[in-house]
Amino acid sequence: MNKVIKNVTEAVQGIEDNMTLMLGGFGLCGIPENSIAALVKMNVTGLTCISNNAGVDDFGLGLLLQNKQIKKMISSYVGENDEFERQMLSGELEVDLIPQGSLAERCRAGGAGIPAFFTPAGYGTEVAEGKEVRVFNGKPHILESALHADFAIVKAWKGDTDGNLVFKATARNFNPMMAMAGKITIAEVEELLPAGELNPNEIHTPGIFVQRIFKGEKFEKRIEQRTTRTK
Amino acid sequence: MALDKKGIAQRIAQELRDGWYVNLGIGIPTLVANYIPEGIEVEFQSENGVLGMGPFPFEGEEDADLINAGKQTITTMKGASFFDSATSFAMIRGQHVQLTVLGAMEVSENGDIANWKIPGKMVKGMGGAMDLVASADNIIVAMMHSNRAGVSKLLKNCSLPLTGVACVKKVVTDLAVLEIKEGAFHLVERAPGVSVEEIQSKTEGSLIVNGEVPEMSL
C-alpha cells in the first residue's frame, strides 16, 4: 500500500486550527523538523500539542510557541525555553505536565485500544489530583487515561513506501507510540526506500500505523548539549 | 571536611553491585559513572531509550541522534540497546532496573522527595522522576545537606510539591550517609572530619545516631 506523498506541504494538509497534534522527539532528538517548519508557514493556531518537550526558543516546537500557535502543551519537561516559561506564567499558554513514563504509556494506550490504566507514578503528588486511586498488591496507583491526536507527526531514520519505519539510536523515543495514536500519522524520514528494501525483522513501526510518508528535505539535527571528552 | 560533588558520587559508587542495571539522574548522579569499583560490571540506563550508555564522545564524533536523558551527546558500550519510551519506562516501573540515583531539593524523614517544582519560580516539569521514584526498590538521593541559603534539605516534611511519597531509602550528602526507616534519618557514616554534632545541627528532620558513627572511606 503506497503511503508516499510528494512533500511536506502535502503532508500537513488537513491540519486545522484548534486540532490536537502529537509530535515525536525527546529534546531536539528525533523531532519532525520539516513538518514543524511547515506548520509555522501554514500558521494554524489554537493547537494542543502533545510532546515530551517544547523545543528551545528558536528550534523545534519553540518555533510554534514564538508564533503563538499553541494553546495548550501536554509534556513532561519544558525547561530550556524562556518563551515557554513566559507564556505559561502569564497564562497565555495552558500547560499539562505529566510524568514521562505516563505520557509514553498514555500515547501507547491511545493507539492500542486501552482507554485507561493504573500506574504508581505520581501517587501522592499534584499529578494525582482528581484521579481515581486504587490499591494493587498493597501499593496505591492512579488512573491515567489514553491520549489521542487528530494528527501524529513522527520522524524516522529510514522508511519505505508502505510506511514501515526504522529509527536511529535514541531518536526513537516517543515516535513509535505516537505513530500508533494518531488518527492520521505523518512520518518524515531521512531515507525513503521502495517496499521490500527494509528487512521485515528489523522494522520498529509497522506501516499500518502510518498514513503519509515523505522524505524530509533537510535535517538540521541540532544538538542541545554538546558534551565531549578529549582524546 | 565536607565532600565535594565528586566525593558524593564516589561514595555512592560504593553501593554499586555486579550485574546491576542503574539509572543515573542529572547532576551529581551522572558523576557516579566515573567511579565504578574495579571488578564489577554495571550497565547504565537512560530513560530516553538506551541501555549500556558509555562516556561522552570524542570531539568531532558527536551524534545528534545519540543522547542521554540530560540531552547530552553520549556513546554506547558493547552490548548496548535502544528502545522506545514506553519500553524504557516498562523497565523502570517493572523494577528491572536495580538502582536509581537522583538529585533532590528536599527529602523528608519518611522518605518523601521533592525535586521538580518551585511554585511561581521554577516550573520545568518532572520528566521521568515521578515514574522512577514510584517504582524503584532501591533509590539513593545524591544532594548537598543544606541549600545555598544554608537551610537543611533533610526535613520533617517537604515544603515543595512532592515528586514521590515514602520512597527514598538512602541519602548521600556532602556530610553524611543516612538511611531512612521508621520515619527518621539514621546516621550511617560521616564525611571525613565531619562531626556528629555538625550533622545533627544541619538536619532538620529526626536524626537517629546509634553508637560510634564511622567515617566514610573513599
Give residue-wise pLDDT tens across range A32-53.
999 999 999 999 999 999 999 9
- Domains and their CATH numbers in chain A: 8-116+147-215 (3.40.1080.10)
* pLDDT given for residue B164 in this prediction: 97
Mean pLDDT of all residues in chain A?
97
* pLDDT given for residue B147 in this prediction: 95
Using a CB–CB cutoff of 8 Å, tell me whether B206 touches chain A. Answer: no
Question: Phi and psi dihedrals of A205, rounded to 5?
Answer: -120, 115
- Paired with B208 in beta bridges are B186
First-to-last alpha carbon distance for chain B, in angstroms, is 13
DSSP 8-state code for residue B2: -
Residue B91 host element (H or E): helix B85-93
* pLDDT given for residue B217 in this prediction: 93
How many CB atoms sit inside 10 A of residue A42's CB? 14
**What's the CA dihedral at B152, B24, B30, B73 to 10 degrees?**
-140
DSSP 8-state code for residue A202: G
* pLDDT given for residue A80 in this prediction: 77
Residues A160 and A198: their CA atoms lie apart, in Å, by: 7
Residues B109 and A182: their CA atoms lie apart, in Å, by: 44
Residues B145-166 as b/e (b if ≥16 CB within 10 A, e otherwise) read bbeeeeeebbbeebebbbbbbe
B84: nearest CA in chain A?
Answer: A173
In sequence order, what E strands does chain A have?
A: 20-23, 47-50, 70-75, 94-97, 116-119, 133-136, 139-145, 149-160, 165-166, 182-193, 212-215
Question: At residue B122, does pLDDT exceed 80?
Answer: no
Q: Does A99 sit within 8 Å of B131, measured CB to CB?
A: yes
Using a CB–CB cutoff of 8 Å, tell me whether B94 touches chain A. Answer: no
In the stretch 110-129 of chain B, residues with CB closer than 8 A to chain A read 112, 117, 123-129
Q: Is B198 a catalytic residue?
A: no
Residues B55 and B32: their CA atoms lie apart, in Å, by: 12
Give the model's confidence band at B123: pLDDT under 50 very low, under 70 low, under 90 confident, else very high: confident
Residues in B closer than 8 angstroms to A22, CB to CB, are none
Whether ipTM exceeds 0.85: yes
Grid cell, residue B119, equals 511554585
* pLDDT given for residue B120 in this prediction: 80
Q: Does B125 sit within 8 Å of A225, measured CB to CB?
A: no
Grid cell, residue A198, equals 527494509
Q: What is the CA radius of gyration of chain A?
A: 18
Give the model's confidence band at A212: pLDDT under 50 very low, under 70 low, under 90 confident, else very high: very high
